[in-house]
Amino acid sequence: MTAVSGHGPWPGGARDELVAQQTVLDDLASSPTGVDPVPFLTQLAGRGPGADAVGRTASLLAEMPVELGPHGWKLTDHPGADLRRAESLLREDLSALAVAAVGLDGPLAVELTGPWTLAAQLWSARGDRVLADVGARRDLSLGLAEAVRRHLADVRAQVPGATPVVQLTEPLLGQVHAGVLPSFSGYSRLRAVPGPDVVEGLLPVVDAAHDAGARVVVHLGATWVGVPPVALAGADAVGLDLADIGGAGESAGWNERAWELLARATERGIGLWAGLPPATVSQCSGPQLGELVRLVAEPWRRIGLPVAGLADVTLLAAPRRSLADSATHRAELANLGRVAEALAERAAA
């Protein structure tokens, strides 16, 4: 059945963890008949440093302590207050999950920053981005693999009935591969990472999640050129923000090359997690959900994929640049449920 899930970030501040987690679980449990809910561990980034995506993921790295520096999170020689804060915030989230998800028996998505985006955003202790050092980024990939194993064990300890799904966010993978990221000085660009090396960096993390019994989704944002490396690394699904993959002058969401790559991945049994924008709202008729249905279904049909395959698509809201209020996010989840219901009906026709 067509499914609905979400990324981890959610509005809220200190002491809002339990309310946020209960809201997500309850709202997804109310999905329409024929739609599979995939609840997710919430991340209340509004609590500040350590609750952000990079800080949370970096805090899990074994034997690679981090701290905040002038440009963001960086590796350091010894654990400090920044790391302890990030670890404490994650413990609070897992405790809230344990209470809110009592009796949960089924999929549960947990989101972490993928190895290439993490290497692009994390700075070495005394130099450039970790991405600039081949040895350091290899160590980072292996450290993240071990972090995934331990994190999944912690999640299962809190929710024994959960079947974890690891969402690795890789929005910078395309820039890493293209060699367009600036160096520390800003006067040069870091060397492009070739495709085989991209696959090699993803493999340990994907394998670690599989070894722990989890499925893996690598979410690329609009970076559709990352679909082949994700497939070669053995991920179970690839995520793309469909409204953002079309080029200038093309119809919304349509990019023939991108959809060809998605079709090949789908034919290999790799699922699609489709990120959808907020529905436009008419004062007369409310949310224009038909536009979102077409954003998925029309390119799917146009590229020649079997309509029955729409039943295997998972929908989630494309990440926002800034978090809206909780009511807005809840409305998006409800809208996605109705879009998923429409796609499921098409798949069954």
pLDDT at 184 over 60: yes
Partners of residue 239 on adjacent β-strands: 219, 273
How many domains, the chain?
1
Of 68, 38, 60, the residue nearest 113 (C-alpha): 60
pLDDT of 286 reads: 67
Mean pLDDT of the chain: 93
11 and 79 Cβ atoms separated by less than 8 Å? no
Q: How far is it, in rounded angstroms, from Cα 59 to Cα 66?
A: 7
Q: Which residue has the tokens 């699609």?
A: 272
* C-alpha distances in Å from residue 349, one per residue of 297, 311, 331, 338: 13, 11, 27, 17
Q: How far is it, in rounded angstroms, from Cα 194 to Cα 198?
A: 6
Partners of residue 250 on adjacent β-strands: none
Percent of the chain's residues with pLDDT above 90 = 83
Give the confidence band of 280 by pLDDT, cuts at 50, 70, 90. Answer: confident
* C-alpha distances in Å from residue 89, one per residue of 2, 78, 112, 167: 33, 19, 15, 19
pLDDT of 248 reads: 46
315 and 278 Cβ atoms separated by less than 8 Å? no
pLDDT at 249 over 50: no
Predicted structure pTM score: 0.94
pLDDT of 15 reads: 80
pLDDT tens per residue, range 52-72: 999 999 999 988 999 999 889
Between residues 196 and 252, which one has the greater pLDDT?
A: 196
Percent of the chain's residues with pLDDT above 70 = 96
- SS3 assignment, position 279: coil
The CATH number that applies at residue 312 is 3.20.20.210
Partners of residue 106 on adjacent β-strands: 162
pLDDT tens per residue, range 282-338: 666 668 899 999 999 999 999 999 999 999 999 999 887 666 788 889 999 999 999
Alpha helices in 44-80 (DSSP H): 53-59
Average pLDDT over residues 253-277: 94
The amino acid at 121: Q
Range of the domain at 132: 3-348
pLDDT tens per residue, range 151-169: 999 999 999 999 999 999 9
